[in-house]
Amino acid sequence: MVPIMPEIDIGAVKSRRDMVRFLDGYSLERKEELDERKSKRPLVKTQLLEVLDGSHCRPGEDYSRVFERRGLRLKVIDHDLYGVRDDKGQSIGFLERLSPRIVALYSMLESKHLTPAVRRVVIGSSELDWVWLSGLTFSVLWDLVVKLSPPGRFAKLVFTHHSVYEVDEELEEADTEEELTEPQEESEDTATVIERRAARFQLIDRIHVVSERLGALQRTYSPLYAISQLRFPSPAGRGGHDFYENGRVTNRSVSFRDHRLHVLFVSRIYEQLLGRTERQAWYSVQTSLKTPGEFRKIIGAPLTVQFVEPLSTTTFEQWIKSTFERSRNRFRLWGHPIRLGPTKVHVYGLDRHLWQPIFLELTAKGCLAIIPNGTCGNTVQRLVTNIQRYLDPSAKVFLGGQRYEEMVQEASTSISYDSLE
């Protein structure tokens, strides 16, 4: 049997330092192979995941039990660092707890093996979710790339938008979940002809060129707002760190230490964003401090998404039907739509992945969501990511009266140097 991952003796890695040293050396070798166009072994990849306890958005004390329930075996290596094997004893990689809610799985598995392995772990678990980086979040991260990198370095951005709810009368596609990750090339012989908007671009150019022109391009062609992948150039040399919208990060640099620093940086921005989303959005009826038990008021702020290009009635209808009549739908929502007209429904439903409540008003012009207290901020990030990817790439998002991008910007500026290891 061909080894899925270069077998390493996890037992030989006794500390975080050992792991970093090992992955540093491995990354350097792979980068040299890449430069010589003879890469034989997979690159180091990181999968960022959020861990919840399912009811209070707080991770449980014992991580290993969460992963064991999903068929992974964790062995403590160091403080907040584990070796990970699957239920057959095959090495998967290392799992590091980066912050109270975010973990990173570092792996040398090939994408075609890592992607389904992670999917198996996450998809049936209400305690684990992918980290969701929406196009709007990426647009703020892009600004950081511009600030952090010399203007002459090369940037790489990928834009993905599929108007899957535009009905092609020739073809009614089943709305099944798909993983937002590196796309598989479709065979020229088997590719189906689908007539509806689908856009996927890869843009590689010098940072100053992209920076000067991206805004104008986006205003001209809205799918360019749907950034689905972004490279942070590495200051340690050529290449960089490719972040995908589902929290996958591929190390295409010579340094694993630099890779880990970028992973830490983005995960902390994300955790800040989750915290801010929850603090602002969570709706509850709270008791006044002055007269407890008597004066109650509503606390919270709704999430508003405005479609810049309103949906046609048929697209709206298809979106509602696909989302609420199929249990495995892209938005992972459950509920019974209450019809309030041709292009308006109310849903008092659930995020079907995390099993937490969400109340939605969906119309052809946008979406309004009430997030009850306790529902995880990840629900919001996933909703925004999916809206940009499948409905309107240029959608404008607000939490209360504040623009979502401003929140991401604030989250990114609140990361202090001493919080980075």
Partner 1 sequence: MTALNDLIADPLFQLNSLLWLTQPLPAVSSIRPLLLERGFVVHAIGPLLPLPPDIRLALADLSIATQGSARPDAVLRRDRDMRYGLVECKGKAFGTKSSTAAQARTLVIAAGSQMAEILGLAADEVQGSVAAYWVPTQAGVEMHETLGLLHGELADAKIACGTTCVLGLEARKDAIYLVPDDVAGEFFGLGKTPLPYLFIEDDNDPRPLYFIPYDPDSCRSPGDDKYCKRILFERIQATVLGAAGRATPPAELRFQAEDLLNSAMLGSYGLWENRDSAKHMRRLVRQLLADLEKAVCTEVAGVLSYVETAGWVLRIENEASQERVCSALAKYTPEAIDLSQDPQPGLFDDAPDL
Scanning 224-330, the segments in alpha helix (DSSP H) are: 256-281, 313-324
Binding string, residues 348-377; x marks residues near partner 1 by CB under 8 A? xxx-x-xxxx-xxx-xxxx-x-x-xx----
Residue 181 C-alpha from the chain's centroid: 10
Kindly state whether residue 25 participates in binding partner 1, applying the rule CB under 8 A.
no
**158 and 219 in contact (C-beta within 8 Å)?**
no
For the bound state, the minimum distance from the C-beta of residue 288 to partner 1, rounded and expressed in Å, comes to: 7
**46 and 259 in contact (C-beta within 8 Å)?**
yes
For the bound state, the minimum distance from the C-beta of residue 125 to partner 1, rounded and expressed in Å, comes to: 10
Q: Which is nearer to partner 1, 69 or 279 (CB)?
A: 69
Of the candidate spans 20-28, 92-100, 179-187, 336-344, the one that interacts with partner 1 by CB under 8 A turns out to be: 336-344
Kindly state whether residue 37 participates in binding partner 1, applying the rule CB under 8 A.
no
For the bound state, the minimum distance from the C-beta of residue 291 to partner 1, rounded and expressed in Å, comes to: 5
Binding string, residues 52-91; x marks residues near partner 1 by CB under 8 A? --xx-------------x----------------------
Interacting residues with partner 1 between 104 and 133 (CB under 8 A): 124, 126
Q: Which is nearer to partner 1, 54 or 275 (CB)?
A: 54
Q: Which is nearer to partner 1, 73 or 346 (CB)?
A: 346
Pairing outcome for strands 198-206 and 154-162: antiparallel
CA–CA separation, 203 and 160 (whole Å): 12
Residue choice 288, 314, 413, 419 for contact with partner 1 (CB under 8 A): 288
Q: Look up residue 64 and give its amino acid.
A: S
Residue 285's Cβ-count burial label (10 Å; 0-12, 13-18, 19+) is: exposed
Structure-token match 């990970």, residue found = 84
Q: Look up residue 395 and give its amino acid.
A: A
Binding string, residues 300-319; x marks residues near partner 1 by CB under 8 A? -xx-x-x-------------
**277 and 380 in contact (C-beta within 8 Å)?**
yes
For the bound state, the minimum distance from the C-beta of residue 177 to partner 1, rounded and expressed in Å, comes to: 16
Q: Look up residue 86 and give its amino acid.
A: D
Residue choice 76, 295, 419, 420 for contact with partner 1 (CB under 8 A): 295
Interacting residues with partner 1 between 176 and 195 (CB under 8 A): none
Whether the CA torsion 233, 234, 239, 240 is positive or negative: it is: negative
Q: Phi first, then psi: what are they for 308, rounded to 5°? A: -70, -35
Q: Which is nearer to partner 1, 130 or 265 (CB)?
A: 130
- From start to end of 57-175, where are the E strands? 72-78, 81-86, 91-97, 102-107, 128-130, 154-162
For the bound state, the minimum distance from the C-beta of residue 404 to partner 1, rounded and expressed in Å, comes to: 10
Angle at 277 between CA 272 and CA 279, to 5 degrees: 95
Which residue, 128, 72, 134, 96, is CA-closest to 18?
Answer: 96
Count of residues engaged in binding partner 1, rule: CB under 8 A:
57
Residue choice 174, 401, 417, 418 for contact with partner 1 (CB under 8 A): 401
Whether the CA torsion 308, 312, 315, 319 is positive or negative: it is: positive
Residues in the site for partner 1, rule: CB under 8 A?
A: 54-55, 69, 124, 126, 283-286, 288, 290-291, 294-298, 301-302, 304, 306, 327, 334-336, 338, 340-344, 346, 348-350, 352, 354-357, 359-361, 363-366, 368, 370, 372-373, 396, 398, 400-403
